[in-house]
């Protein structure tokens, strides 16, 4: 098959490059994705790798390393350079402010208040809230888990919330 009759000739691509890409694109993409963790960036780097390979094909013939190893090295170098660019860009865009670290005291106080309010509830009422809010269960799932009727779960849920609201307002 001549270059002119090759299926890729219409696209202006050369068969040797197509074969090189067909054999190495998948492994290179997997390798680069592990390095940069961004699929789109990895695709860009792999494409740059093949461009580099094509532009340096004359020099490549002088190197006695298998082509796949050489491509991996080029891709790794491009990935490292890309990660450096991203890191430098972040350094330039992040403002250098000596802002105080967030104080977690408010969260600790709120958590202590929540625990105190939950202790005011009966064990049955607390169990319903734990199942519905913390475990994310539905009323029916909670009823099955606790072995009580659905109406009982609904009633305990309403009573518990009412108790919490009134105790919070009193505090």
Q: Return the pLDDT at 147.
A: 94
Question: Does the pTM exceed 0.85?
Answer: no
CB 41 within 8 A of CB 81: no
Q: Where in the chain is the domain with CATH 1.10.10.10?
A: 116-170
pLDDT confidence of residue 61: 62
According to CATH, the topology of domain 11-93 is Rna Polymerase Sigma Factor; Chain: A (1.10.1740)
Encode pLDDT of 63-85 as tens digits: 667 888 888 888 889 988 888 88
Helix ranges restricted to H, 94-149? 105-119, 123-129, 139-146
The answer to whether the CB of 24 falls within 8 A of the CB of 54 is no
Strand, helix or coil at 91?
helix
Q: What confidence score (pLDDT) does residue 9 get?
A: 40
Q: How many CB atoms lie within 10 A of CB 145?
A: 14
- pLDDT (average), residues 120-125: 89
The confidence band for 5, taking pLDDT boundaries of 50, 70 and 90, is: very low
Question: Cα–Cα distance between 22 and 12 in angstroms, integer?
Answer: 16
Query: What is the C-alpha separation between 35 and 148, in angstroms, rounded?
Result: 53
Closest CA to 50 of 62, 67, 31: 67
Q: Outline which parts of the chain fall under CATH 1.10.1740.10.
A: 11-93
Does the domain at 116-170 match CATH 3.90.1170.50? Answer given as no
């Amino acid at each position: 098959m001549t270059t002119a009759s090759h299926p890729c000739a219409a696209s202006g691509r050369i068969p040797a490059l197509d074969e090189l890409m067909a054999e190495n694109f998948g492994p290179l993409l997997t390798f680069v994705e592990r390095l940069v963790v961004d699929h789109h960036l990895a695709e860009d780097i792999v494409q740059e790798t093949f461009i580099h390979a094509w532009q340096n094909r004359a020099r490549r013939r002088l190197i006695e390393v298998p082509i796949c190893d050489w491509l991996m090295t080029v891709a790794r170098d491009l990935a490292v350079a890309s990660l450096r660019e991203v890191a430098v860009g972040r350094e330039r865009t992040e403002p250098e402010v000596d802002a105080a670290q967030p104080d977690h005291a408010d969260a600790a106080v709120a958590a202590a208040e929540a625990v105190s309010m939950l202790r005011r509830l009966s064990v049955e009422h607390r169990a319903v809230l734990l199942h519905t809010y913390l475990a994310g269960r539905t009323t029916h799932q909670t009823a099955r888990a606790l072995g009580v009727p659905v109406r009982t779960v609904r009633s305990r849920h309403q009573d518990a919330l009412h108790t919490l609201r009134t105790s919070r307002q009193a505090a």
